[in-house]
Structure 1
């Protein structure tokens, strides 16, 4: 019993360490907003980074609330100095990360405003704490009918993209 408990503790410690140590940080200014979950950061070396906001999926530009989501993200981050915590790139070569403006999680703010979904398909890439907070924020936005949650016929962006692909 004791050795099993020790192994569980060691595994937990490893997972916590692995989760926190694998993240890198990028510092820069937001110089572009593509949509409600993708921005461009300019770092100190004048290198542009395309950032896909981790843990969320916002409506596409041509979807209902797509423009509102983009505008809200812009109001949070555009032309501001940010820290991006990241640990991977997506299949399009974008850096996937969490954007912090003066310590405030912009990704989470998109969900709280009801202008993005918590992207549960990729939630395992988030820390357990972020995963929990984002899920709770989405549930609260839904309950309070914030932003896109006022629409009873809502199509999540991942379904919308799939529908568009199958038409072509």
Structure 2
């Protein structure tokens, strides 16, 4: 009897903790690009969040502005739940963002065709399925016959920057003549 009472009390305790879960809600106060948000915590701390497992086109890339606009329309000014506390090399929090109505922002962006599943960081079969459906339906960036994944776009841009630096470094350097040298040359003529 004592064991049953204990188990019943334990069950009620666990249930009450689960029901009274006071999740922290953040307000979306900025959208930097399709997969990067700025959230404001209840104590007015600004947090930059990189949406995990997805990669949107860069702003300067085809559909980059459209991805940013879609993300903004979806969640700007709304209260959201943040899941995840890892940080990337830029100091951004990496995580999943969910609207109060339960819509997962990360998944919705892929579902509507404004992001790739970032396979280097995700093996999520649901995201893969959402991306495949968006491809087949020609949604968002999948309207393009051969869209360039953002990781390839960034790599190409970096290669071009390096090549430009190398080319600039190889230019012959002309030494300017001093005033005395210029005057001497002018006098000799």
- Residue 59 (structure 1) aligns with: 57
Query: Any idea what SS the aligned residue of 1:92 has?
Result: coil
Q: CA deviation at 1:26?
A: 5.2
Corresponding residue for residue 50 of structure 1: 48
Q: Deviations over 1:6-56 (max 9, x none)?
A: xxxxxxxxxxxxxxxxxxx75310000000000000001110000000110
Aligned equivalents of 1:98, 1:83: Cα separation in 2: 8
Q: TM-score, with normalisation over the residues of structure 2?
A: 0.71
Is 1:166 the counterpart of 2:159? The answer is: yes
Deviations 1:85-143 (A, max 9, x none): 0131001000001000021101100001100001110015xxxxxx1111000000001
Asked if 1:90 corresponds to 2:83, the answer is no
**Alpha-carbon contact 1:26-1:85 (below 8 Å) kept:** no
- Moved segments of 4+, more than 3 Å: none
SS at match of 1:115: coil
More strand per residue: 1
- In structure 1, runs of 5+ residues without a counterpart are 1-24, 125-130
Are the equivalent residues in 1 in contact too, given 2:24–2:42 (CA < 8 A)?
no
- Show the 5 A alignment for 1:71-150: 71-102=69-100, 103-123=102-122, 131-150=124-143
For 2:60 and 2:130, how far apart are their aligned partners in 1?
24
Residue 153 (structure 2) pairs with residue 155 (structure 1): no
Change (3 A) 1:48 1:155: same
Can you give the 5+ residue segments of structure 2 that lack an aligned partner in the other structure? 1-22, 162-189
